[in-house]
Structure 1
Amino acid sequence: MKVQFLGLLSLFGVFGHLMPLGVLTNAARANPIDAAVLTVNSADDTIAPDDRLTLREAISVANGDLAPEKLSPAERQLITLPTSPSGQPPLVTIGFQLPSGQTVIQLQQALPEIKRSLTIDGTTQAGYAGDRVILAQNANLRQPIVELTPAAGVEILRGLTITSDNVTIRGLSLYGFTASHGETASTPPADIFIAHLAPPPDIRQQQPPANNAPFYDRDIPPKNILIENNWLGIRHDQSMPDRTSAFGVSVFNSTGTTIRNNWIANHDGSAIITGVKAENTLITQNVITGNGIAGMPDAIRLEGKVDRTDITGNHICGNDGSGIYLFKPDGSINIYENSIVYNGRRLRRAAVYLMGNRHHVTQNTIQHQTAAGVVVAAAPASVGNLIERNQFSDLEGLSIDLNTQHNTDVSDYQRGDGLNPDRNSPNRRRDTGNAAINAPQFDQRQIPMQGDAVVLSGTADEGSTVEIYQVKDKPTDAGALGTLLLTISEIKNGKFYATVKSGLKNGDRISAISHHPQYGTSEPAINATIGQAIPDTPTPATPPVCVSPPDPPKPPVQPPPVQPPEPIRLKVPRNIHFALDQSFISDRSAQVLDKVVAVLKANPTIIIDLHGHTDPRASDAYNIELGKRRALSVRNYLLRKGIDPSRMTIRTFGERQRLSDGSRKLDYARDRRTEIIYKDIRDIEVIVQEDDLQIEP
């Protein structure tokens, strides 16, 4: 049972003096308490001796910056000693008993850094349902009650800043933490920020004597941080907040951080980003959707020291860039058993982009990407990356693409540069990802059936292992690697042979990749066809929804007879127009877009391409950028109206696709538009039956 704190003040040492909003001098510092449960019962953001204990007061007391004797007797009643299980050390926990309907804590300024081991536990709030499944994509995810956000008109960079070992943040909703400056600092704004005490705002600008490191020896990274069961960037009712956060979790300097079972969505930049040091980080079982809407677009971006980091079991969907992006990392990581789908919505990037050496990408589902599946960088030289037993489909690029230094456009490095020729000189080892390990080659592009078996032969790099895959995607030369059929052990004399008895039939396509213990994984082989090629029969696709409620149990029903689908007829606007040199959504345009929202919500299998256009009165480069801003404005408006990000892809054409050759004001007004292209995910014909409704003057 709990023991009341009142009367036990002597257990907690010497106490200091009260300062406004927790800004305490060193002289006022009290000793931190050894163990307690502090119950926050007010959503206010004050420090005052009254009958309410606020989160700011609780953190200040836990840190030792606010002496318990400076609290009122009623507040001290909210601090109790915990009962610890036998053999377990006592802990400090901050829990919640906020009044019903008053569970949003609106901060007036940044909270104190968390400078001691403790747990902030939102699951203690009345109404938290720990057994209620929220999303089909993660049965462990739970809905928070307590929300943490800046007050209206207040800019706060970070929600919670962790600088101590053994800190747990659980069961909270955090959003709205950002900065108005145009350039992202080295220590970025975030819902949750993890670093040593008082890191420099920008390590690139350090001057002597602080440039010896990047840090002093005393700047020890906190260890064993646990971030679990939180909703970051999303309100407790699953809505997108009016003010979005810059980043979700920033692991700027830490070792052994675990980020699990969180829903991280709607951030201007990445959901999870690392900085100088994030070794031994575990990112697992998170739902990461719709991030990168106004800046760094990648869902998970790792840089710095990240050795022994694992990314596993996450659902990464509908983000604006790559699902996972490694930028000049120090160390190797493992990426396995993730679902990485429908990413690259705003910027066409690979689902997984690898810089560095010895990374392992295995058993992931990678689908519906507007670029390649996995890209291995060539600069800096990246080798030994093993990419095996993944399932790819519906890619606008190769399943695995090894970049070369001969293709140096930004798009080549982010999306992939296509099939490489055979390695023809030792220099190729130095200028190509994974040291230019050659893709396997089948001896025949058309392989006959032999009874119920298929006999394969081909060539591959000496000492490599070959995996044979069935290709169930579009009939291209290097279709996406689907089901793994078999693995052929170490290749000798550059040749491989195998017999496949796994249900292959006439018209099926196969491909292969090689793995070398020194160089890593190759690009896929040019497809081979089993027997005679036959036309593909399209299969119905699942509508692109990143998150959905769990399906209720249903009795078995007999499927209805398959009928040829009728065309879908939509009465919906196709164009949104803009004023001269503008990209904002006017009131008139908003009325038109609301009709688009209604149609999209009524037709969940419809997806859209947003094409930004301009009139010709500027340079081509300027108009390409203006067209992108116009398409992005329409997308962001639809996002705020609840349209799933995976249903929208933006492209820009600038002045290159005018509606007419005229030079009248009306002609130019018609050119200034975002065109909405409607498609059905099931490949059913869509007929749009409404002309332009609105043209901006």
Structure 2
Amino acid sequence: MRSFKTFILCVSLRVRSSFKSAKPPNGLLTAPLRETKIILLFILLAFPDITHAQSPLTNLRIIVNSNQDTIQTDNFLTLREAIHLVNGTLSIENLSDAEKSQIEILQCNQPCSRIEFNLPPLQTTIELKEILPNLTTPGLTIDGTTQPNYDLSKSPTVNFPVPIPIVVITPAPQQEIYRGLSIFADNITIRGLSLFGFTSQHRETASTPAADIFIAAKDQFHHTQPPKNVIIENNWLGIPPDESMPQTTSAFGVYVFNGLNTTIKNNRIAYHDGSGIITGVNAEKMQIIDNIIMGNGLAGMPDAIRLEGKIDQSVIRSNLLCANDGSGIFMFNPEGKVQIHDNQIKFNGRRLRRAGVYVMGSDHQIINNLISHQTGPGVVVTAFPVGGSFHHGASIRNVITNNSFANLEELSIDLITNGHVAVQDWQRGDGKNPQRNSKNRRLDTGNAAINAPEFLAREFVSINNQVNLDGVADPHSQVQIYNVGHDGALNQVITTVTANEQGRFGVTLDHSQLGEMISAIATLPEYGTSEPAENVRIANSSSISPSSVPHCLTRHQPPAPKPEPIPESIPELQPIRLQVPNNIHFALDKDLISPRSGEILNQIAAVMQQHPTIIIELQGHTDSRASDAYNQALGLRRANNTRNYLLKKGIAPERMTIRSFGERQLKTPGRDRLEHAYNRRVEVIFLDIRGVEIILTKQDSDLQIEP
């Protein structure tokens, strides 16, 4: 740099000397001036950015006051025009005086351009006719909170208050646009917008970066630097301001394909075909904080958050991950370590039964999370080798402590072995491991096969209101004692003790601290956390409260009415007698909902809206023709399409799970076309969380008999 400055200084002195001594007659260049011209031309060719680097920063504040998607000289500025202006691809000189009045030159020491909004009250939806220009200006903020009547304090939910957006960006009717906003520069902020409907029917969500917001380097092939310090906050992604499920769902929410130190905070991300947040090549130092991520994975990658590529030093904290079709967090062959703490991860696996958190890699910390109501395990640690190496299992030193588990279909913590490589093993776990019996087990099992603790008795008795617990674990491991719920999951940490050199541990606790059942996990820094111990019973203990009505969000409640006088006797709950059908039928080899079946599902939706304590399982069935594998997949599609129909009718995703039986539970023997038609069905299994009986009726008015 010093030699370059010296070179420029020498050139400038030569230029000054030449102009002082040269007096060109009749406008002709003298030799010194010709030489100077050649030198200046050399500088411009060798250093093409020098004039740009020396020009002052031009920062614009642009007010978008039209929801049209045009570029034309008129009295209004559109979002498309605003992006072109800050990118420098549209000149201010080409604007009308009315348009120029919506632009202000900002004085900043660094890039700080802003796009703000002042749309007419009934014209706040921007319907795009084609994809918007890429955001390539560093320091740009697109701020939907500037729209008049935006209320930062107004949120439909209490526990995770994300304000309701006013400005909406979505494709125009009949337009297929696969990206909302594409970020290719540093320090860009997207705030206070609703974006949804960005996908492509001609591209697979598994391979194409279609998303509401896409972050990547300008030129992936020439290894340009990825954008740094992008902030995505207070947006509703995949969901309109009325909270409905859109007719066209976006592929992904935020796709961090290549970005450093990205912050995704306080957003509501819902109803995507794929994951709500997904990473690709590089997402190091990413912060995912205080988001509501629910109801995602309707057709593609089904997880709330899917982590791939470089994700080192990323943090996932204080989010609600609820009612997504797969895992709450799913890691696939990542590079680096992640902290996952203080999240609520519940009611996931609604379409595909998976773990609440699925871990590949090493040194992850999963601490102080609530993981409940999963159609699989709580946390799965796979031994799948990152980078192709089986050294020490490749997934080790994963710490899983101080979490609370409830209502799981599998283990609270499941460490997978390399011998179990089926999809179900990876995603749902492979069940309880035996005690480690060889050094090779260290190499082929997640967290190096650290042994689960073992209690020395199947039951511990209270004496003088105290209980003495004794057990064995890996020597020097930290052993956390847990209360266990009626579902068998680790419910609440009671205390932590340390095993001695021989692996023995013991602790004395007040009987009042203990539930009916207890378990334990062990953690060693060099290996990670174990699976849970076998549950043991505490004699004469109190029971744990039953499950509550499933819901993801806490709504604002109206003022409580005055209490009614307590009657002398409270009548018992009577069975709920619902005059509503609990099945629909399908055409041969089809999974589409017929108009008549839609009418039946409308009745079911109305009943579920009337009775919010009801949850359902949708069971897909086929006739006996075709292979078992084909029929399993067909039954799953039928159940999933039934669920999607009810989602669009406003039924919350956490109230529905699906299952496929294929041809394994035929309703009739299938001797003719009529019997085959009865077998092609989805059955709706109703359950009231209060435990009361529900009486239903079957129907066949929508039978579709093949020609």
**Contact 2:623–2:670 under 8 Å retained in 1:** no
> Hey, what does 1:157 align to over in structure 2?
178
The answer as to 2:687 corresponding to 1:679 is yes
**Contact 2:253–2:276 under 8 Å retained in 1:** yes
Alignment equivalent of 1:133, drawn from 140, 144, 155? 155
Alignment of 1:401-420 (within 5 A): 401-420=414-433
Give distance in 1, aligned partners of 2:499 and 2:547. 38
**1:305 alignment partner, SS class:** coil
The answer as to 2:552 corresponding to 1:528 is no
Q: Which amino acid aligns with 1:683?
A: G
> How many angstroms does 1:36 deviate by?
2.5
Query: In 2 relative to 1, CA 318–441 (structure 1 residues): closer, same or farther, beyond 3 Å?
Result: same
| Structure 2: 5+ residue stretches without partners | 1-48, 386-393
Give distance in 2, aligned partners of 1:304 and 1:459. 39
The one-character-per-residue Cα deviations of 1:267-315 (angstroms, maximum 9, x if unpaired) are 0000000000000000010001100001110110001110010001101
Q: CA RMSD in A?
A: 2.1
Give distance in 1, aligned partners of 2:378 and 2:248. 32
> Hey, what does 2:93 align to over in structure 1?
69
Give distance in 2, aligned partners of 1:131 and 1:460. 50
The farther-off stretch of 186-195 and 595-604 is: 186-195
The one-character-per-residue Cα deviations of 1:231-270 (angstroms, maximum 9, x if unpaired) are 0000111111111100000001111110011000000000
The answer as to 2:190 corresponding to 1:178 is no
Give distance in 2, aligned partners of 1:557 and 1:454. 42
> Hey, what does 2:550 align to over in structure 1?
544
> How many angstroms does 1:585 deviate by?
0.6
Q: Which amino acid aligns with 1:56?
A: R
Alignment of 1:210-609 (within 5 A): 215-217=221-223, 219-380=224-385, 381-474=394-487, 479-489=488-498, 491-501=500-510, 503-504=512-513, 508-531=516-539, 539-554=545-560, 557=563, 564-609=572-617
Query: In 2 relative to 1, CA 416–564 (structure 1 residues): closer, same or farther, beyond 3 Å?
Result: farther
Q: Which amino acid aligns with 1:286?
A: N
> How many angstroms does 1:694 deviate by?
2.8
Query: In 2 relative to 1, CA 454–155 (structure 1 residues): closer, same or farther, beyond 3 Å?
Result: same
Give distance in 2, aligned partners of 1:184 and 1:504. 49
> Hey, what does 1:190 align to over in structure 2?
211
Query: In 2 relative to 1, CA 65–182 (structure 1 residues): closer, same or farther, beyond 3 Å?
Result: closer
Give distance in 2, aligned partners of 1:332 and 1:127. 42
Alignment equivalent of 2:68, drawn from 44, 47, 50? 44
**Contact 2:186–2:228 under 8 Å retained in 1:** yes
TM-score (norm 1): 0.89
> Hey, what does 2:133 align to over in structure 1?
112
> How many angstroms does 1:563 deviate by?
5.3
The one-character-per-residue Cα deviations of 1:112-158 (angstroms, maximum 9, x if unpaired) are 1111121000011112111213212313x100001101112222111
> Hey, what does 1:211 align to over in structure 2?
none
Q: Which amino acid aligns with 2:337?
A: S
Query: In 2 relative to 1, CA 445–532 (structure 1 residues): closer, same or farther, beyond 3 Å?
Result: farther
Query: In 2 relative to 1, CA 185–363 (structure 1 residues): closer, same or farther, beyond 3 Å?
Result: closer
> How many angstroms does 1:655 deviate by?
1.1
> How many angstroms does 1:383 deviate by?
0.4
**Contact 1:573–1:692 under 8 Å retained in 2:** no
> How many angstroms does 1:690 deviate by?
4.8
Give distance in 2, aligned partners of 1:621 and 1:579. 19
**Contact 1:569–1:689 under 8 Å retained in 2:** no
Give distance in 1, aligned partners of 2:236 and 2:565. 38
**1:328 alignment partner, SS class:** coil
| Structure 1: 5+ residue stretches without partners | 1-25, 200-214
Alignment equivalent of 2:122, drawn from 87, 97, 101? 101
Q: Which amino acid aligns with 1:122?
A: G
Give distance in 2, aligned partners of 1:625 and 1:687. 30
Q: Which amino acid aligns with 1:179?
A: S
Q: Which amino acid aligns with 1:437?
A: I
Q: Which has the larger radius of gyration?
A: 2
> Hey, what does 2:649 align to over in structure 1?
641
The farther-off stretch of 70-79 and 148-157 is: 148-157
The one-character-per-residue Cα deviations of 1:349-371 (angstroms, maximum 9, x if unpaired) are 00000000000001111110000
> Hey, what does 1:22 align to over in structure 2?
none
> How many angstroms does 1:546 deviate by?
2.0
> How many angstroms does 1:683 deviate by?
2.2
Q: Which amino acid aligns with 1:319?
A: N
The one-character-per-residue Cα deviations of 1:552-596 (angstroms, maximum 9, x if unpaired) are 453785896765432222111111001111110111111111111
The one-character-per-residue Cα deviations of 1:493-549 (angstroms, maximum 9, x if unpaired) are 2110111126146x7111000000100000000011112689x68x45322222342
> Hey, what does 2:29 align to over in structure 1?
none
Q: Which amino acid aligns with 2:140?
A: L
Give distance in 1, aligned partners of 2:277 and 2:571. 46
**Contact 2:179–2:210 under 8 Å retained in 1:** yes
Give distance in 1, aligned partners of 2:66 and 2:618. 45
> Hey, what does 1:615 align to over in structure 2?
623
The one-character-per-residue Cα deviations of 1:387-411 (angstroms, maximum 9, x if unpaired) are 0000000000000000112222110
> Hey, what does 2:25 align to over in structure 1?
none
Give distance in 2, aligned partners of 1:559 and 1:261. 43
Give distance in 2, aligned partners of 1:675 and 1:511. 38
Q: Which amino acid aligns with 1:492?
A: E
TM-score (norm 2): 0.88
**1:255 alignment partner, SS class:** coil
> How many angstroms does 1:100 deviate by?
1.5
Give distance in 2, aligned partners of 1:570 and 1:540. 25
Give distance in 2, aligned partners of 1:70 and 1:397. 65
Query: In 2 relative to 1, CA 494–559 (structure 1 residues): closer, same or farther, beyond 3 Å?
Result: farther
**2:635 alignment partner, SS class:** helix
**Contact 2:116–2:143 under 8 Å retained in 1:** yes
> Hey, what does 1:12 align to over in structure 2?
none
Give distance in 2, aligned partners of 1:374 and 1:557. 43
The farther-off stretch of 61-70 and 264-273 is: 61-70
Query: In 2 relative to 1, CA 459–74 (structure 1 residues): closer, same or farther, beyond 3 Å?
Result: same
